[in-house]
Each structure stands twice: as structure tokens, then as C-alpha cells.
Amino acid sequence: MSELEFRRVSVTYGHGRTAHVAVESADLVVRPGTTHGLVGESGSGKSTMARIAVGLTPVSGGSILLDGVDITNRAREARLARRRVQMVFQDPFSALDPRMPIGASIAEGLLATGRYYNRIDRESRVHALLDRVHIDPARAGESPSAFSGGQRQRITIARALAAEPAVLIADEITSALDVSVQGVVLNLLRELQQELDLTMLFISHNLAVVRYVSDEVSVMRAGRIVEHGETSAVLAHPADPYTRELLRSVPVMGEPLELEDA
């Protein structure tokens, strides 16, 4: 089990007068074997946190530590360590190469392990992974277009798992899906988390979904983390006014919406 720590990280896009600060000195610790929820609205910088953790975007300040090793620089150890942080993307349609059979896409995940797999090992591993995400392993040769959005998202999860990640980052992975499919994907994540003791950073704009999967939660707004703590504690007794506003905004099943102060 591994720990992922964001230590005073900042991200700035552009230079000089046009600089835009996406993340400002954010601290966040994903404890080993737990799921940490990161909630925020559009433009809050939550997706940037995912991108810097996997190296798609460089940090402008601070560091990200995986079990104490800084993974933000370009050194070889950092690069190798970074491969142990894997990510599942929001849009299941662009996350899979349309011209690559899904089995080959999943096998690509094996690259990150740094081990050599012969053909038979590779195939059996892909089959096991497909089985694990409840997709018929016999369909490994089919192209992504043969699968629905929810199935594709499970395939991208299988690809991330193939990398044997120490930390899994899920960036809005259910927001492009219908609610009934969302349930399936969330259940799968829970199941995997319990079986594999995954350390997970779960990013979403949906407070109820974050609450359901997370042990701890951080609330982000305008590039800053405004509040963090154990999920039930934060949601029961929010300290920050913004967290309170978020909580009040979430519609509750069967209860009339309180709109007078909107």
C-alpha cells in the first residue's frame, strides 16, 4: 500500500501578465489503502491535480511524493515511480484508441510494470483483467466501438489495473455516464478497492458520489483546498462557507428544493 502526497503544489498556465493560476499551494494526502475524494466545481483546479500527479502537466511549485519519492522531476527514478500512479479519464470514448482492439489497449497497461510478458502470459493477464471488470474475456479482440460507454469505462479501469498501480486516480469517471451505469462503475471501484487495497484519489463534482466512495474528502475552490478531513465529519460539520453552500445545493430525493436564498 502506498501513500500519495501533494506538498504545497502550484500550477500556473501561461506567463507574465496572462498567467493563470490553476492550483495554488495545495496540500493533500491520500493515505495508504484509502479513497480520498476531491470535490469542486468547474475551474476549481481539481482535474489539474490529477494531471500533475501522472505527469501530463508540470507543477510550477511544490512537490508530489509517492511513498516519499518525489515524482515531479524528470529524473529516471521519478519517471519510473510516476508509472505507479495511474489514471482513469472522464470521457470513455476518447480514452480508448478507436483502432486498437480492447485487449491490446489493456495489454498496453502491462508496459508500466516494466516486466516482460510473452504472448501467452500477456493474453492470460488481459483475460483475467477483463474478467475482473466483468467483461467477457472472449471479446478481447473487439474494437471499442462495440462497447457501451459504461463498458468502455470498465475497460479503461482494466487498463489502469494492468499497470499494477500503487495509486489510482479517477477523474470524473462517471460524469459522462447514465445514472444506472454510474452505479455499476461505482460498485466496481468499491469492489476493486476492497480486494486490492488500492490507494485512490477520486475526483468529482458530485458531492453525493464522492461521499459514497471516499474515506476522506478535500473541497477545492478556485485553485485552493478550502477544507479537508474525514468524509462524515466534513459533511456533517462543514467549517468552510463554500462547503456549506455546496451541501445545500445538492438536491435530496423526495425533498422540496430550498431555493429562497439562492
Site for another protein in 223-252 (CB under 8 A): 235, 245-252
Min dist CB 208 to another protein, Å, is: 5
Helices of type H across 140-214: 149-162, 179-196, 207-213
Q: Which of 36, 46, 71, 86 binds another protein (CB under 8 A)?
A: 86
Residues 130-149 close enough to bind another protein by CB under 8 A: 145, 148-149
Binds another protein by CB under 8 A, chosen from 2, 34, 156, 243: 156
Measured CA to CA, the distance from residue 177 to residue 17 in angstroms comes to 39
Burial track 87-120 (b if 16+ CB lie within 10 A, e otherwise) = bbbbbbeebbeeeebbbebbbebbebeeeebeee
The residues with which 69 forms a beta bridge, in sequence order, are 66
- In the complex, minimum distance from the CB of residue 64 to another protein, in angstroms, rounded to a whole number: 13
Q: Helices 119-132 and 149-162, interaxial angle, to 10°?
A: 130
Residue 141 or 251 with smaller CB distance to another protein: 251
CB of 4 to another protein, least distance (A): 14
Residue 64 in contact with residue 15, Cβ under 8 Å?
Answer: no
Helix, strand, coil in percent for the chain, rounding step 5: 40, 25, 35
Residues 90-109 that bind another protein (CB under 8 A): 91, 93-100, 105, 108-109
Residue closer to another protein (CB basis): 58 or 141 = 58
CB 41 → another protein: shortest distance, Å? 4
- Which one of residues 49, 129, 163, 173 is an interface residue with another protein (CB under 8 A)? 163
Say which residue the cell 518525489 belongs to. Answer: 70
- Count CB atoms within 10 A of the CB of residue 57: 17
CB 10 to another protein: min, Å: 13
226 touches 39 (CB < 8 A): no
121 binds another protein per the rule CB under 8 A: no
Smallest distance from another protein to CB 32, Å: 19
Cβ-based neighbour number of residue 76 at 10 Å: 8
Q: How far is the CB of 148 from another protein (least distance, A)?
A: 4
* Category of 35 on φ-ψ map: left (φ > 0), alpha (ψ -120 to 50) or beta: beta
Binding to another protein in span 11-50, by CB under 8 A: 13-18, 41-42
Binding string, residues 177-216; x marks residues near another protein by CB under 8 A? xxxxxxxx-xx--xx-------------x-xxx-xxx---
- The residue from 61, 114, 141, 241 that contacts another protein (CB under 8 A) is 114
User: Total number of residues binding another protein (CB under 8 A)?
Assistant: 82
Q: Helix axis angle, 149-162 relative to 179-196, nearest 10°?
A: 20
